[in-house]
């Protein structure tokens, strides 16, 4: 029996407070959020010093936090917010500069849930895309979003198949990841065994500059070298390669073995780097030597690549809903039964260590 809709029932909007020293951005965000039917704009402040009393009073679901501000910068403000209001989610607004990238990655380590880069200059199209991306992230990460509990059975599981194959057959682990990725990757690399007899390649949705500092940051915590991929590198055992932000990464069959190809196109791909492009190159060149993992992130990038990998004999893993910041990218591969296993981050690390073994 279908229940009648209560037209008088009010649904609480997700509440947002903005901290930014730029009057232009404060006004842009005020106008954007005020016109959105799902978001409540609570107010704005010029920096952390003025913001903290208002955050204590208003208790927003989200704080949109600029990185570089006078008196009290983004890192100082973030530390205060996470200490005093741990339930408040913080999204950083970062400039596309080296300093902006470094500080933003530090903010993610300190508890910011995600970031959105400010475009260089004031191009109307770029600003519009930034505001749209920020709005979509707020909605995807909203604590008001219903927690959908799904039970599923992996269709046509091939665990027995992989166990019957020699583990030394696996020489490449490919990871596709987006929102929540830096923290998940840090957790993953902390748990990985050292001296793996294989290579790891990663497509993490990030703009230019950020991926290089992500690789540096992860290397300091990991038991293995992690670097931003250069074009034409032959994959080395025990090394992890991150696709450069704003570029595409493929793994091709070079004269000396699996080799990176870093390039600009194609233009129709919205994500740069794209998980689909990385996964499809492995499906074409090294499917039976590849274990591919789809992890936390918004959208469906990676789904088409996983279909190709599945068809060509790769071993597929998805991060489970409970450990994802956003269960977007793993959702469709799981629901359609493409994956062989659904695991949390710690179990994924154990599986990678097992499949790639130790030298």
Among all residues, which ones are annotated catalytic?
Answer: 178, 205, 301
User: Residues 6 or more apart from 192 whose CB is under 8 A from it?
Assistant: 222, 223, 224, 349, 352, 353
d(CA 272, CA 245): 6
Q: Which residues pair with 320 in a beta bridge?
A: none
Say which DSSP state 32 is in: H
How many Cα atoms are found within 13 Å in the side-chain-facing hemisphere of 320? 15
Sheet of 199-204: strand order equals: 226-228, 240-242, 199-204, 172-177, 290-294, 315-319, 341-343
Between CA 59 and CA 75 the distance in angstroms is 19
* Exposed / middle / buried, residue 126 (Cβ in 10 Å: 0-12, 13-18, 19+): middle
Which segments within 57-145 are labelled E, that is strand?
Answer: 62-66, 89-95, 114-118
Residue from 180, 13, 16, 11 nearest 88 by CA:
16
- Cβ partners under 8 Å of residue 73, min gap 6: 47, 48, 67, 103
């Amino acid at each position: 029996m279908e229940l009648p809709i209560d037209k008088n029932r009010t649904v609480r909007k997700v509440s947002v407070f903005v901290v930014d020293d730029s009057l232009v951005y404060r006004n842009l965000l005020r106008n954007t959020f005020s016109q959105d039917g799902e978001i409540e704009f609570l107010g704005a402040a010029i920096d952390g010093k003025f913001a903290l009393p208002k955050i204590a009073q208003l208790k927003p679901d989200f704080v949109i936090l600029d990185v570089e501000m006078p008196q009290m910068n983004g890192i100082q403000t973030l530390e205060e917010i996470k200490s005093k209001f741990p339930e408040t989610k913080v999204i950083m607004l970062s400039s596309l500069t080296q300093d902006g990238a470094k500080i933003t990655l530090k903010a993610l380590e300190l508890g910011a849930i995600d970031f959105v880069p400010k475009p260089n200059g004031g191009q109307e199209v770029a600003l519009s895309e930034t505001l749209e991306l920020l709005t979509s992230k707020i909605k995807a990460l909203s604590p008001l979003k219903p927690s959908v509990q799904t039970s599923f059975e992996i269709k046509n599981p091939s665990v027995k198949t992989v166990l019957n194959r020699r583990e030394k057959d696996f020489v490449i682990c490919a990871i596709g990841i987006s929102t929540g990725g830096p923290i998940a990757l840090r957790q993953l690399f902390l748990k990985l065994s050292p001296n793996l007899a294989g290579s790891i390649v990663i497509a993490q949705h990030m703009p230019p500059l950020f991926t290089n500092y992500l690789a540096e940051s992860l290397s300091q915590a990991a038991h293995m070298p992690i670097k931003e991929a250069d074009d034409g590198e032959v994959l080395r055992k025990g090394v992890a390669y991150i696709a450069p932000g704003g570029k595409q990464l493929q793994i091709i069959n070079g004269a000396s073995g699996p080799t990176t190809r870093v390039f600009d196109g194609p233009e129709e791909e919205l994500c740069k780097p794209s998980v689909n492009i990385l996964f499809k190159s492995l499906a074409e060149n090294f499917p039976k030597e590849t274990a591919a993992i789809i992890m936390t992130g918004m959208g469906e990038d990676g789904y088409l690549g996983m279909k190709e990998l599945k068809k060509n004999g790769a071993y597929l893993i998805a991060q489970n809903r409970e450990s994802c910041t956003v269960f977007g990218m793993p959702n469709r591969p799981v629901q359609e039964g493409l994956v062989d296993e659904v695991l949390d981050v710690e179990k994924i690390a154990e599986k990678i260590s097992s499949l790639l073994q130790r030298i």
